[in-house]
Amino acid sequence: MNAAEFIVQMLEEEGVEYLFGVPGGAIEDLNIAVHKSKKIKPIITKHEAGAAFIADGYARVSGKLGVCCSTAGPGATNLITGLATSFADYVPVCALTGQVATSVFGKGAIQESGAEGINMDMIFRHFTKYSAMVFNEQRTQYMVQKALRVAHTSPGGPVHLNLPADIMKRTASREIPTTLHWHTRSYDPEATMAAARILAQARRPVIIAGWGVALSRGAMELKALAELLDIPVAASPKAKGIFPESHPLSLGGLGFAGSTIAQRYINDGEVDVLLAVGTSFNEMMSSGWDEDMLKRAHLIHIDVDASKIGRNYSTSLGVIGDARITLQALCTAIKEELGSPELSHRRQVSTARQAIRFLKGREKMLDEPQPNVKGLYHPRNLVQDIQSCFPEDTLYFVDIGNVMAWAIRYLKVDAPYSFFVSLGFGGMGHASAAPVGAQLALPKRPVVALVGDGGFLMNGVEVATAVEYDLPVVWVVFNNAMFGLVYHGRKLYAQPIPEGLPSRYKRVDFAKMAQGLGARGIRIDTPGQFTAGLVQDILAAKRPTVLDVRIDPEAVPPIHSRIKTIDKRFAA
Ligand SMILES: Cc1ncc(C[n+]2csc(CCOP(=O)(O)OP(=O)(O)O)c2C)c(N)n1
Ligand SMILES: [Mg+2]
């Protein structure tokens, strides 16, 4: 067995099903080894950025390792944005990049990207948890096992191995007869007990749930805790749906394009304990580090990443640990606390549900459909129509732009692990490609991408990958012929940026583009054309489909908290 075949064997043992990538000379040994594999299917993408995004999409929905590969040099640099996205959102992805033979290092081989060239190993260290060159075939087992273990250890993330062509051809074998168990989850029992004592006595507690709860698959445990003490739950934008949004204890989203309910309830001064779980209090989650959030007696922060605790708000209790296991232990500990006679009053029905009902009643008025000006779809109506036409078990991927603001604000997500937005790194194009990996991970669920025209132009060529492998992803392109977020941002700043800076461009016909790529392309010029019947037809056809929807470019998106942050923090 050569080193490349040995790597493939170890990936098979890990349960890897797909290798996403673009071929090239320097990675041929790996491609040949995968070709011989009965367990791993190569998925050839149209661009390496797409490969990395697709691996991320696969890992994001399945929780399993996504694996992508590229040739040396430009193939590897094309992976960077995708891997950085996985890094910022803690998604376990392994990138395998080719390399010229070590024997010609420094001699001017095309695409050389080793220690004496554009050093990929070093470049990748900045956005991976582990990056190394397999410089000796005898190191293969050690390095692959280390990479897989590190990718999965909480908080997860991408890893990278650079594979020189000569080393990959040499015989390699298992040096240590180990079986790895890296899916360990840990928590802090003492801190959890302390949190249980505070929560059991809280008068008006609130939970803020973040992406970490989704990463640890802790939705059930979150619901159990909320219902145990009748605690309202707000979700960060990335964690949308982690707690059912139609649950009577749901406050909806907090932060960017969040609901006014969450903000009002949390900042009304009455809340005495804020339990933050798996959320990092980043800009998008905290509306630019809203200072009102500081006004409470206790902030308990559960996070697997100790560096996030106390980073932005003073925290009375930090609990380092996996979100799911900690929530589970917290429930058990609280039940014990409630057994004591002095806390029996806590069992009475809290007033939280009533308060939320009242706030929801007020917000409902703000949620009425908007007029479709000049016969063009109002993007908010489009989001709501998508929601009502696609089945409840649909997986939604949302791209960066106004489109995400509309979706975060107006989609109602009740199923956990069903809404994905790459807000950690915030790169456009993720939702154009990642859904392809999601569809491979969960073939039975409808996968719908909500993307802007700008984001679709970045990685929408991966529609052809979906065509190649018969993956019925549906892309809805919010076509406003502009970088809408940039356009509206410029108008909303306290000191508006003068008109004339280019943010508009000539309209692209995405239905035709889709047809050219081999998919079904449908153009929607007016709202009446988007119907439940059309969606039924699309789902029944089981073909990759692009809906090119002309939307009202002037509809002002709910991006005001972001604009305020830019005004406040980015000013000179
Ligand atoms: C890769 C990348 N480039 C640039 C940006 C900056 N940016 C954020 S949103 C946006 C415009 C998005 O336009 P579009 O995809 O058409 O969505 P819309 O805002 O119009 O809904 C830009 C340029 C970014 N986030 N990512
Ligand atoms: Mg646009």
DSSP string, 463-520: HHHHHHTT---EEEEEE-SB-HHHHHHHHHSSSPPPTTS--B-PPP-HHHHHHHTTSE
Residue 398 bridge partners (DSSP): 421, 450
DSSP string, 108-170: T-TT--STTSS-HHHHHHTTSSEEEE--SGGGHHHHHHHHHHHHHSSS---EEEEEEHHHHHS
Report the alpha-carbon distance of residue 482 to residue 504 in Å, rounded.
4
DSSP state of 87: H
Segment among 122-126, 361-365, 456-460, 550-554 with least mean pLDDT:
361-365
Percent of the chain with pLDDT over 90: 77
pLDDT in tens, 399-452: 999 999 999 999 999 999 999 999 999 999 999 999 999 999 999 999 999 999
The confidence score (pLDDT) of residue 501 equals 87
pLDDT above 70 for 182: no
Are the C-beta atoms of residues 516 and 443 closer than 8 Å to each other? no
Residue 478 Cβ contacting ligand 1 at under 6 Å: yes
The confidence score (pLDDT) of residue 59 equals 98
DSSP run (H or E) holding 532: helix 532-541
Segment among 151-155, 172-176, 503-507 with least mean pLDDT:
172-176
The confidence score (pLDDT) of residue 567 equals 80
| Ligand 1 atom at minimal distance to the Cα of residue 427 | 26
The confidence score (pLDDT) of residue 496 equals 78
Q: In terms of Cα–Cα distance, which of 183, 149, 135 is closest to 3?
A: 135
The confidence score (pLDDT) of residue 546 equals 98
Percent helix, strand, coil in the chain, to 5, is 45, 15, 40
The confidence score (pLDDT) of residue 565 equals 83
| Ligand 1 atom at minimal distance to the Cα of residue 485 | 19
pLDDT in tens, 265-285: 988 888 999 999 999 998 888
Residue 422 Cβ contacting ligand 1 at under 6 Å: no
Residue 400 Cβ contacting ligand 1 at under 6 Å: yes
Residue 327 Cβ contacting ligand 1 at under 6 Å: no
User: Confidence class of residue 30 from pLDDT cuts 50, 70 and 90?
Assistant: very high
Residue 241, Ramachandran bin (φ over 0: left; ψ between -120 and 50: alpha; else beta): left
Taking residues 10-32, what's their average pLDDT?
96
| Ligand 1 atom at minimal distance to the Cα of residue 480 | 20
pLDDT above 90 for 114: no
Residue 452 Cβ contacting ligand 1 at under 6 Å: yes
The confidence score (pLDDT) of residue 293 equals 75
Q: Ligand 2 centre and the CA of 153: distance in Å?
A: 37
The confidence score (pLDDT) of residue 79 equals 98
Q: Ligand 2 centre and the CA of 455: distance in Å?
A: 8
pLDDT in tens, 501-534: 889 999 999 999 999 999 999 999 999 999 999 9
User: Confidence class of residue 345 from pLDDT cuts 50, 70 and 90?
Assistant: low
Segment among 42-56, 339-353, 373-387, 409-423 with least mean pLDDT:
339-353
The confidence score (pLDDT) of residue 330 equals 97
The sign of the dihedral angle between the CA atoms of 484, 490, 492, 498 is negative
Residue 557 Cβ contacting ligand 1 at under 6 Å: no
Mean pLDDT of the chain: 93
pLDDT in tens, 38-83: 999 999 999 999 999 999 999 999 999 999 999 999 999 999 999 9
Residue 56 Cβ contacting ligand 1 at under 6 Å: no
In this prediction the pTM is 0.96
Taking residues 207-224, what's their average pLDDT?
97
Q: Ligand 1 centre and the CA of 403: distance in Å?
A: 9
